[in-house]
A and B are shown apart, each in its own frame.
Chain A
Amino acid sequence: MNILGISCYYHDAAAALVQDGTLVAAAEEERFNRKKHDPGFPKLAIDYCLAEGGITREQIDHVVFYEKPFVKFDRILNMYTFTWPHSMVSFLKAIPLWLKDRLWMRTDIQKSLEMPDKEILFAEHHMSHAASAFLVSPYEKAAILTLDGVGEWTTTGRGYGDGNQIHLEEQISFPHSIGLLYSAITSYLGFRVNDAEWKVMGLAPYGEPKYVDQFAELVDMKPDGSFRLNMKYFAHHWSSKRMFNRRFERLFGRPQRLPESELEDFHRDIAHSGQKIVERIIVNLARATHEKYGLDDLCIAGGVGLNSVANWRILKETPFKRVWIQPAAGDSGGAVGAAFFVWNTLLGNPRTYEMRHAYLGPEYSNDECEAVLKARNIPYEKHDRDALVKESAKHVADSKVIGWYQGRMEFGPRALGSRSIIANPMNPEMKDIINAKVKFREKFRPFAPAVLLERAHEFFEMDEGLELPYMLMVPKVRAEVRDKIPAVTHEDGTGRVQTVTRRDNALYYDMIEEFGKHSGVPVVVNTSFNVRGEPIVNTPENALNCFLKTGMDVLVLGNCIVDKSRIEGDLV
């Protein structure tokens, strides 16, 4: 049986295909149409999923959308009605759009799929999130938290999963939302909402907790884990553009930072204090959830689940023994969750699939990679597997910046060794080098380490054998090795680890191992293969273009290695 999950029309549109209970393909639309965070109907991602599953449209048994549009419309109507007259501009912008398009979503999806008679299923937004975490997790029974901006009405959900059933028992409703609070901080700091939340987390360690009292004024927390925002300070319940109001600015004593203007200590302190408050809400929530259900395991999804610092604190500071987080925790993962909700919960099939990696996107063969190089007259060297591993590791050791393009593309916001830029973590200059040559990111943003699973505990303060395959946790770098891997040690002495296993990514594993053999450090810098403002590369063509456009030194494209220094000047 083929079930197609779709999420779109907010941001990060995506599609996923579940065949007889196995996730065979999942991808974000942005990777195909090259528009970052594209919210439109994920036509290309769907085409890809069907091709990967080897089926035609007619063979899709069920199509499921990740939320209930009418319930969302109810929330939007209420927002604008009950905040009259503030909401006028947003009302005039949103309502015609809803009346014209969004309310006809069923027809719209049918039309876009070119299947006018196909019935479309609609799962609830938070059920999709919950399913994307629990139903593909390793646990038979576990507590579930969905931590989000907002879905229809729900912003936060709590419950448990048991077998193929999900019991989401309680919720916190709009406008009280951790995700929207975080977006308010993001926006106040002059970063782009729904895009640059990472920056707040990256900036936080550089500041001091000077404003936690003010943030405490914004949030009220209860011992049972629930919370409420003090809506006197916010604007997201009446505006589609503004997250906070003037009173918010007065509380902190400064207006919103202008984008691209100088970052001052004040902004670092706000980031630090804001991150601290959000961690406090999340840890409180997790602790209370453990108390309520008494289960050892916890599943998390929803955009806030990408807050890796908070995630690590849940694991360290609450009685939960294990935590599994959907790597595509944001709305793109809703496509996966919705499809499994149908397969397991609605159709009653037992759970047989565990999501052990995120390599769910398109793959291009070595021949296809080579053809791209040939067509563009790029000089390259072709290697067998052994030589490819050795040669790549040698480039890492030589502190080259390497585009690493292998296997199936990752699903979710992180590059995990398929579409990655890798580099030497031992070189203290490496962060600046990568930034100057390729990424052009703000100085304060950290680069993450990819480390062999068996060796991870030697470098990071984590238990031996603990799998962190998705860069969703941030343990401390062990003090004694900190100066060995300066390029991946963040300001506060932590690292957003990816543990690598041979089981899930053999070539990547072998390359890191090879580098480790000579350096004693089986760790590489891993950052996503893209330039600032663009989605991660998908095709070999994308990878080559990105390589040529930037100062990257080496491109490992399938089994071919391209050395930039050997390319004639005018090609670059």
Chain B
Amino acid sequence: MPEYKSKFMRRWMAIVRPIGVFQTYLIMTVVYVLIVPFFSLKRIVDPLRLRLRGDTYWEPRKKQEDLTLERYYKPF
């Protein structure tokens, strides 16, 4: 990309990149401070197992029936 390497572009990027980084953190901070708490209020569920009780701490794993390549192409 020759235009990208032009002097003007380089200067322009030097100005806007920090703004971009700043914005990322700004947005993230807003998300964290304002939105995340609403989810965190659902403390009835305990995904972090902070209140584990009972006779065992083992959790059964779901048996993977679908042992195919197609299934494992998924990153989840």
| Known contacts A81-B39, A120-B73: A231-B32 contact under CB 8 Å | no
Main secondary structure of the interface of A (DSSP, over half): mixed
Q: Which A residues are CB-close (under 8 A) to B37? A: 84-85
Q: Are A122 and B73 in contact (CB under 8 A)?
A: yes
Task: Tell me which residues from 131 to 184 in chain A have a Cβ below 8 Å from any Cβ of chain B.
Answer: 154, 157-159, 167-176
Main secondary structure of the interface of B (DSSP, over half): loop
Decide if B74 is an interface residue (CB 8 Å cutoff). Answer: yes
Decide if B69 is an interface residue (CB 8 Å cutoff). Answer: yes
Encode A59-86 as 1/0 by CB contact (under 8 A) with B.
0001011001111001000111111110
Q: Which A residues are CB-close (under 8 A) to B39? A: 81-82
- Please report A residues at the B interface, Cβ cutoff 8 Å: 62, 64-65, 68-71, 74, 78-85, 88, 91-92, 95-96, 105-106, 119-123, 154, 157-159, 167-176, 220, 222, 224-228, 231, 237, 342, 345-347
Q: Are B40 and A84 in contact (CB under 8 A)?
A: yes
Task: Tell me which residues from 37 to 58 in chain B have a Cβ below 8 Å from any Cβ of chain A.
Answer: 37, 39-40, 43, 47-50, 52, 55-58
Selected from B49, B69, B76, the residue in CB contact (under 8 A) with A176 is B49
Q: Which B residues are CB-close (under 8 A) to A80? A: 32, 36
Q: Are B72 and A123 in contact (CB under 8 A)?
A: yes
Q: Which A residues are CB-close (under 8 A) to B68? A: 346
13 A–B contact pairs at CB < 8 A?
A68-B74, A70-B75, A79-B48, A82-B39, A82-B43, A83-B48, A119-B73, A122-B73, A158-B58, A171-B58, A172-B57, A237-B48, A342-B69
- Whose C-beta in chain B lies nearest to the C-beta of A154? B61
- Please report B residues at the A interface, Cβ cutoff 8 Å: 24-25, 28-29, 32-33, 36-37, 39-40, 43, 47-50, 52, 55-61, 63, 67-69, 72-76
Q: Are B74 and A122 in contact (CB under 8 A)?
A: yes
Q: Are B72 and A346 in contact (CB under 8 A)?
A: yes
Say how far B56's CB is from chain A's closest CB, in angstroms.
5
Selected from A81, A95, A175, the residue in CB contact (under 8 A) with B28 is A95
Q: How far apart sit A330 and B70, CA to CA, in the bound complex (Å)?
A: 27
Say how far B59's CB is from chain A's closest CB, in angstroms.
6
- Whose C-beta in chain A lies nearest to the C-beta of B24? A96
Say how far B36's CB is from chain A's closest CB, in angstroms.
5
Say how far B74's CB is from chain A's closest CB, in angstroms.
7
Q: Are B48 and A228 in contact (CB under 8 A)?
A: no
| Known contacts A83-B48, A96-B24: A222-B55 contact under CB 8 Å | yes
Q: Are A70 and B76 in contact (CB under 8 A)?
A: yes
A-B pairs with CB below 8 Å: how many?
114
Q: Which A residues are CB-close (under 8 A) to B75? A: 65, 68-70, 105-106, 122
- Whose C-beta in chain B lies nearest to the C-beta of A62? B69
Q: Are A224 and B58 in contact (CB under 8 A)?
A: yes
- Whose C-beta in chain A lies nearest to the C-beta of B29? A92
| Known contacts A81-B36, A122-B73: A226-B56 contact under CB 8 Å | yes
**Most chain A beta-carbon neighbours within 10 Å: one of B24, B25, B57:** B57
4 A-B pairs closest in CB distance: A70-B76, A226-B57, A84-B40, A170-B58
Say how far A544's CB is from chain B's closest CB, in angstroms.
40
Q: How far apart sit A82 and B39, CA to CA, in the bound complex (Å)?
A: 8
Q: Which A residues are CB-close (under 8 A) to B28? A: 91-92, 95-96
Say how far B21's CB is from chain A's closest CB, in angstroms.
9
**Most chain A beta-carbon neighbours within 10 Å: one of B39, B48, B55, B63:** B48
Q: Which B residues are CB-close (under 8 A) to A123? A: 72
Q: Which B residues are CB-close (under 8 A) to A237? A: 48, 50
Say how far B49's CB is from chain A's closest CB, in angstroms.
6
Q: Which B residues are CB-close (under 8 A) to A71? A: 76
Q: Which A residues are CB-close (under 8 A) to B36? A: 80-81, 84, 91
Selected from B49, B57, B67, the residue in CB contact (under 8 A) with A345 is B67
Q: Which A residues are CB-close (under 8 A) to B55? A: 222, 224
Q: Which B residues are CB-close (under 8 A) to A158? A: 58
Q: How far apart sit A91 and B25, CA to CA, in the bound complex (Å)?
A: 10
- Whose C-beta in chain B lies nearest to the C-beta of A157? B61
Q: How far apart sit A227 and B54, CA to CA, in the bound complex (Å)?
A: 11
Q: Which B residues are CB-close (under 8 A) to A85? A: 33, 37
Q: How far apart sit A346 and B71, CA to CA, in the bound complex (Å)?
A: 10
Q: Are A170 and B60 in contact (CB under 8 A)?
A: yes
Q: How far apart sit A169 and B61, CA to CA, in the bound complex (Å)?
A: 5
Q: How far apart sit A539 and B59, CA to CA, in the bound complex (Å)?
A: 46
Q: Are A92 and B73 in contact (CB under 8 A)?
A: no
- Whose C-beta in chain A lies nearest to the C-beta of B71? A346
Q: Which B residues are CB-close (under 8 A) to A226? A: 56-58
Say how far A55's CB is from chain B's closest CB, in angstroms.
20
- Whose C-beta in chain B lies nearest to the C-beta of A227? B57
Q: How far apart sit A158 and B58, CA to CA, in the bound complex (Å)?
A: 9
Say how far A9's CB is from chain B's closest CB, in angstroms.
13
Q: How far apart sit A231 and B33, CA to CA, in the bound complex (Å)?
A: 24
